[in-house]
Amino acid sequence: MVIAFVRTVILYLFIIAGIRLMGKRQVGELEPSELVLALIIADLAAVPMQDFGIPLLSGIIPILTLLCITMIISVLSMKSVKFRVLICGRPSIIVENGKLHQREMAKNRFTVDELMEELRMKGITDISTVKYAILETNGQISVLPFSDQKPPIAKDMAVVPEEAGLPLVIINDGRVLDHNLKTRGYDQVWLSKQLKSHGVKKPEEVYLLTADELGRTYFAPKEAVK
Amino acid sequence: MKQIWIAVGLLLAILAGTLAHSFYLSGFTGELTALLEQAEERAEAGDWAAASEYNRKAHQVWDEKEIYLYLLLRHQDADEIYMSFCEVAEFLECEEGGEYSAANAKLIAQLKLLTEAEQLTLKNIL
């Protein structure tokens, strides 16, 4: 058992180091330590699950060990910037003021095709309109266009739109959500009026009814299922 | 910060528990080996009844820890040792000197390997 413990610690740290060396692109949406945990925890659980000749503890001890190390790494990452950089790496600027940082792209083994694909997915076709494109530590790309390329927001246009707040679901597939109804400050009388105004008699005939903080509602009747 | 201490504490507890297991297993198999060696000495002296008694005692000690052993060891290893105990007992009953000696040596070697596999050594880690 102590061998399982020591091997788990060594392999976990080894795989984290491997993932870090492979670069940010391999990581996906998880941090390296989280990705490694996700990769090996399922396998560790599956082995004693399938092979009855292996004691259950052979699976439980490495899993518990991994969870403890992950917890230690995540707390240390939160407390120390240096440790975080060591485990997760630093974000890489691959486009700055419309110019490609080719060395940084090569360092992260990031091709032009991949960059163009990422930019297109964000609605950008011209690199010269990009102020910054940053390859984040989780492998995602953040794109910040030049100020004159950003879509205007209400504040830019000196418009003050109404704050509608979060619409709450009042009827979900024929079921009345009483808690949301009360949260919005409405009652059954209000609900009956709403149903009547939309030409239905019972909540069972409604697929979706929402209400926002300004009292605006969205109504969708149930369609007849063939 | 409390979380990190819980995690570190748990890690140390696991390490201590696994080390305690390997230490205990070493003593446990040492006790069994001593009994089996005494049985062999008695068998070589021609005292088959005493040899059987030592072997029975060793088997009993093994059986008493059955749950613990199955909880922490590969079931196949534990099963093989159980079968070897039965084999040795049968040779003792038949008073087959040569066969008994070989089977007993195999059983002692199995116990030694079982302990070795749980020791914190570089050979095992690698």
Q: From the candidates B11, B66, B79, which should be mutated to test the interface with A, based on the most A CB atoms within 10 A?
A: B11
Q: How do residues A82-99 score in pLDDT, each as one tens digit?
A: 888 888 888 999 999 999
Please check the confidence at residue A5 and state whether its pLDDT lies above 60.
Answer: yes
Q: What is the pLDDT of residue A152?
A: 86
User: What's the number of domains chain B is made of?
Assistant: 1
Exposed e or buried b for every residue in A136-162, given b needs 16+ CB within 10 A?
bbbbebebebeeeeeeeeeeeeeeeee
Measured between beta carbons, the chain A residues lying within 8 angstroms of B21 are 1-2
Domain of residue B80, residue span = 2-125
Helix (H, G, I), strand (E, B) or coil at A76: helix
The conformational region for residue A139 under phi > 0 = left, psi -120 to 50 = alpha, else beta, is left
Answer whether B15 touches A (CB < 8 Å).
Answer: yes
Per-residue pLDDT of chain B (126 residues; tens, 9 = 90+): 788 888 899 999 999 998 999 899 999 999 999 999 999 999 888 888 899 999 999 999 999 988 888 888 888 888 999 999 999 999 988 888 888 899 999 999 999 998 888 888 887 777
Local structure of residue B72 (DSSP, 8 states): H
| CATH number reported for the structural domain that contains residue B93 in this entry | 1.20.120
Percent of the residues in chain A that have a pLDDT greater than 70, as a whole number: 93
Q: Does domain A92-149 have CATH number 2.60.120.700?
A: no
Q: In the structure, what pLDDT confidence band is assigned to residue A170 with cuts at 50, 70 and 90?
A: very high
Contact yes or no for A64 and B14 at CB 8 A: yes
**H or E stretch covering A93:** strand A92-96
CA distance from start to end of chain A: 60
Instruction: Give me chain A's average pLDDT, please.
Output: 86
Please check the confidence at residue A25 and state whether its pLDDT lies above 70.
Answer: no
- A189 Cβ neighbours under 8 A, 6+ residues apart: none
Out of B6, B22, B73, name the one closest to residue A2 (CB). Answer: B22
Q: What is the pLDDT of residue B94?
A: 86
Contact yes or no for A75 and B117 at CB 8 A: no
Q: What is the pLDDT of residue B66?
A: 87
**The domain A168-221: what is its CATH number?**
3.30.240.20
Q: Contact B5/A71 with Cβ under 8 angstroms? A: no
Residue matched to tokens 């059955």: B66
User: How much is the ipTM here?
Assistant: 0.73
- B72 Cβ neighbours under 8 A, 6+ residues apart: A1, A55, A57, B21, B25
Local structure of residue A224 (DSSP, 8 states): P
Q: What is the pLDDT of residue A207?
A: 95
- B53 Cβ neighbours under 8 A, 6+ residues apart: B39
Q: Residue B74's closest chain A neighbor by CA?
A: A54
Q: Residue A73's closest chain B neighbor by CA?
A: B4
Please check the confidence at residue A49 and state whether its pLDDT lies above 60.
Answer: yes
Q: Give dist(CA B122, CA B55) in Å, integer.
A: 34
Phi, psi of A29 (to 5 degrees): -100, 0
pTM (predicted TM-score): 0.65
Please check the confidence at residue A12 and state whether its pLDDT lies above 60.
Answer: yes
Higher pLDDT, A197 or A110: A197
Please report the sign of the dihedral spanned by the C-alpha atoms of residue B67, residue B69, residue B70, residue B72: positive
Contact yes or no for B118 and A54 at CB 8 A: no
Q: Give dist(CA B104, CA A91) in Å, integer.
A: 64
Instruction: Determine how many CB atoms are found less than 10 A away from the CB of residue A176.
Output: 18
Most confident of A66-80, A83-97, A193-207: A193-207
Mean pLDDT across the stretch A210-218? Answer: 92
Q: Give dist(CA A12, CA A14) in Å, integer.
A: 5
Answer whether B126 touches A (CB < 8 Å).
Answer: no
Contact yes or no for A1 and B8 at CB 8 A: no
Q: Contact A23/A109 with Cβ under 8 angstroms? A: yes
Contact yes or no for B118 and A72 at CB 8 A: no
Higher pLDDT, B85 or A18: B85
- Range of weakest confidence among A51-60, A111-120, A217-226, B33-42: A51-60
- B90 Cβ neighbours under 8 A, 6+ residues apart: none
Measured between beta carbons, the chain A residues lying within 8 angstroms of B72 are 1, 55, 57
Contact yes or no for B11 and A72 at CB 8 A: yes
